[in-house]
Copies of this chain bind each other. A is one copy, B any other.
Amino acid sequence: MATTILKLNCPDAVGVLARITGRIAAEGGNLLEVSQYTDKTSGWFFARAAVEAGDSAWSPEKFESSFAQLAAELNASWTMRPADRKRRTAILVSKQDHCLVDLLWRWRSGELGLEIPVVISNHPDCRPLVEREGIPYEHVDFCDDKDAAFQRVGEILRANDVELAVLARFMQVLPGWLCREYDARVINIHHSFLPAFVGANPYKRAFERGVKLIGATCHYATEDLDAGPIIEQEVARVEHYHDPDDLVRLGRDCERLALARGVRYHVEDRVLVHGAKAIVFRD
C-alpha cells in the first residue's frame, strides 16, 4: 500500500500538530513517521508526515481534500504526494563528471527517487556517459549568447516538465528569472564549506589560506550567488602536503556525498525553505 508524504509550514499556534495528526487519524491514516520543528524566533511551524492506510476508510484522495480545508484554516503552505512518485529531474553539468556519474549510479540503483528526462550541458563532453544510460543529452552553446542559452535551458526544462534541476558542477551562473521560476527547485553543489570561499576557485584559495579542512556545500540556487539556503555540507581533512590538485581530488568525494544527500532530502520532501535557511528532516 502506497505511503503518502505530507509536508507543511504555517504560523505556529497551540494545537497545530494535534489538529494535523488528529485529521490524519480521523481519515483512517496511520502515521509511520512525523517530524516537526517550531522556529520560536519567527513563530513558524514546520512538519513532515509519512502516512499509510490505517483502516479501510483511508483514501489518499479523500484525505487530500479533507486536509485542504484544515490547511486553509491553518494558513499553511503544503504539499502531499505518494512516497513512490519519482521526481522529474534535469541534471546540468559542464565538463567535470564526478557528480553526474554519482547521481546516475544512484538513480539507476533506485537509491534516489528520480526520473531523469534530460541532462543539459554547455559542453559536449559528457554526452556518451549520459546517452548510454538512455537519457537524452542537450548540448546548449553558451559561448556566443548567454541570455539566449539560458532561454534555451528554460525551454528544455519546461518541455520536460522538470520539477527539480540539479547543478552537478554546472559552471554558469543562473540568471535571476530562472532562479525565481524554479524557486527552491534548483539545487547547486558549491566546492567549499560555505560561507568560506564564496565565489570562484575555492580549492586554490583554500590552498593559499592553508586551511586544514576543505568541504562542499549543497544549497538551493538563488539570485544572490552562493547565498541560497544550505541543505547539506561535508568536509574532509587536508594536510600541508596537499597541493591544489589534491584538494580537487579530495573535494570531489565531499561534493558527491553532499550533493547526493541534498538531492535525496529534497526528493523525499524532507526540506522546507524558510527565508535564508533550510529546515532539513534528515533520514
Query: Which A residues fall within an 8 A CB radius of B?
Result: 14-19, 21-22, 24-26, 28-34, 36-38, 40-41, 54-55, 97-98, 101-102, 105, 109, 111, 132, 193-197, 208-213, 215, 229-233, 235, 239-241, 243, 246, 249, 252-253, 257, 276-280, 282-283
Contacts and interface: CB of A to CB of B under 8 A. Distances in A.
A109 B22 CA distance: 42
What is the count of identical protomers in the complex?
4
A40 B16 CA distance: 26
Contact of A240 (B26, B30, B280): B280
Contact of A97 (B16, B34, B109, B240): B109
A277 B41 CA distance: 35
- How would you classify the secondary structure of chain A's contact residues: helix, strand, loop or mixed? mixed
A239 B277 CA distance: 11
B240 A278 contact: yes
Contact of A209 (B26, B33, B195): B195
A29 B195 CA distance: 39
Given A240-B280, A280-B240, A29 B14 contact: yes
Contact of A195 (B25, B197, B243): B197
B212 A276 contact: no
